[in-house]
Structure 1
Amino acid sequence: MASSQSAPSKSQVVLVTGASSGIGAEVARQFVQRGHTVYGTTRHPENVADPIRGVNYVRLDNADYDSAAQCVAKIGVIDIVINNAGESQAGALEDTSMEAIEKLFAVNVFGPIALTKAVLPGMRERGTGTVVMVGSMLSSFPVAFRSNYAATKSALKAFALATRREVAPYGIRMISVEPGTIATGIGDRRSIHIGDGSPYADEYETLASATRTNEDAGIGAATMARVIVDAALAEHPKPFYAKGNQAGIVFALRRLLPRQLILDMTARKHGLPRVRV
């Protein structure tokens, strides 16, 4: 899905979470290039390996909800929030502990919600603001062995789309963005949950191999970042944007084809054959 063209805008204060690497770093870089004041979050601001000139690094731990309020209080006025920080997880549901699932939801869902709640009062009082939730196309096209991750991204999307009307009367825009497969090396940082001797091990390895191939061929972080920045700066942004994995075509097919066929096609894309039940 093509992004809207960004409207000419005055310099704004932007907070980008997870700005030390990947999409977040590119989003922060592009906002700086467009003349905005940019704060980038990381759990350890003093340890950013490759800091971006013009980005002010501040502490935020998505799993520590109090740090959201502290981060916002330190910055003050914030015009745009890009909720990008999160963790990737894969594995068999049966082999994944409830502790690991709860931690993933804390980082990927509850943390962004806590940060959004922290910025809403100021945005509402000023009558303007933008919050972008960066999800994943796995929300729209879920696949085996990524159930927990897909569920967190689905929660973020529903949160953004439902809250959009709630805060619109106060000049606040809520936007959901779904990246497809991105070549950022996130696979090297993904937590894997497959038990010793797991009956799911062989099929998981098939999916993992296909996922590595797909990610190596994915679009660049800079391309995805441009969609996010354009959406955030658009005069009248759409509720939803997607980029990568031939988004325009596959979302059209999703509307036209039976759900089971879409699930089968998504599985096949990840190396898994159809299983009739």
Structure 2
Amino acid sequence: MSSQTVLVTGATSGIGAEIARQFVARGHRVYGTTRNPDSVRNPLPGVTYVRLDNADYASAESCAALVGEVDILVNNAGESQAGALEDTSMSAIEDLFRVNVFGPIALTKAVLPGMRRRRRGTVVMVGSMLSSFPVAFRSNYAATKSALKAFALASRRELAPYGIRMISVEPGTIATGIGDRRSIHIRDDSPYRAEYETLAAATRRNEDAGITAESMATQIVDAALAEHPKPFYAKGNQAGLVFLLRRLAPRQLILDMTARKHGLPKVSI
């Protein structure tokens, strides 16, 4: 396959850095975004860093203009959030949607005209299996990833006549240390605090035992470069088995099982 121009958001750490590294290793021209390109501590060889702030929609236009023609866009950058819905301010929820949903959509819109004119392009939305398997105290984060998936799947047919492929990818639990950067919204005197702490401890254990960023990145890069990519990919947390179970089992059972995996007992209502 000839060299393509790839734009990977959030390319300084975790999955994003590994995605960028693998695209370079496969011979592609790679741009990676960061809020401050001058402060990248360990730049990856072959990656050109450009500024993007997902919360600043104007920076999406500037980023796209600077990079020029983009063949593959991987919307990976985002923030993680946890806590009680009642304890989370509306401004915090709005900020999360701005970073995790509206920013990626702004960047996608900025590169679509060029892809449409050239009649080729691939956009990958990196979501989370919490979208398909939501759990208590992660409602806001799961909602943002569900929105991102809906944008990708709904626009897939809309853009297909112009040679543009839209792909949604849901990683399971990954050992990237993202838990150390997660914003937490839970009051000291919150009535939800005890159960939140139970979930937080289970989440830390699950993340420590999660799949590697390298493994997840390989799935994303393979999907982006596939001749006929599927609309949806998932990896980690025994994805094949749990998605089969999700199709066959009652919704409440799936919710109960997801809660149990995060340390929470079943509650009948």
> Is 1:106 matched with 2:104?
no
Distance 1:204 1:196 in 2: 11
* Residue 24 (structure 2) aligned to one of 21, 32, 35: 32
* Alignment-mate amino acid for residue 48 of structure 1: V
Distance 1:239 1:32 in 2: 24
> Is 1:23 matched with 2:15?
yes
Q: Which runs of 4+ in 1 moved over 6 A?
A: none
Distance 1:275 1:143 in 2: 13
Distance 2:42 2:266 in 1: 44
Shift of 1:129: 0.2
Distance 1:10 1:159 in 2: 29
Higher relative contact order (CA 8 A, sep 6+): 1
* Residue 57 (structure 1) aligned to one of 37, 45, 49: 49
Shift of 1:196: 2.4
> Is 1:177 matched with 2:169?
yes
Distance 2:66 2:35 in 1: 15
Deviations 1:34-62 (A, max 9, x none): 00000000001111111100000000000
Shift of 1:195: 1.1
Where in structure 2 are there 5+ consecutive unaligned residues?
Answer: none
TM-score (norm 1): 0.97
Q: Does the residue aligned with 1:153 lie in a helix, a strand or coil?
A: helix
Shift of 1:22: 0.3
* Residue 88 (structure 1) aligned to one of 64, 75, 80: 80
Q: Does the residue aligned with 1:18 lie in a helix, a strand or coil?
A: coil
Name 1:220's counterpart in structure 2: 212
Report the RMSD for the aligned CA atoms in angstroms: 0.3
Name 1:270's counterpart in structure 2: 262
* Alignment-mate amino acid for residue 189 of structure 2: G
Name 1:136's counterpart in structure 2: 128
Distance 1:143 1:45 in 2: 35
Q: Does the residue aligned with 2:124 lie in a helix, a strand or coil?
A: strand
Where in structure 1 are there 5+ consecutive unaligned residues?
Answer: 1-8
Distance 2:156 2:42 in 1: 35
Q: How many pairs are equivalent?
A: 269
TM-score (norm 2): 1.00
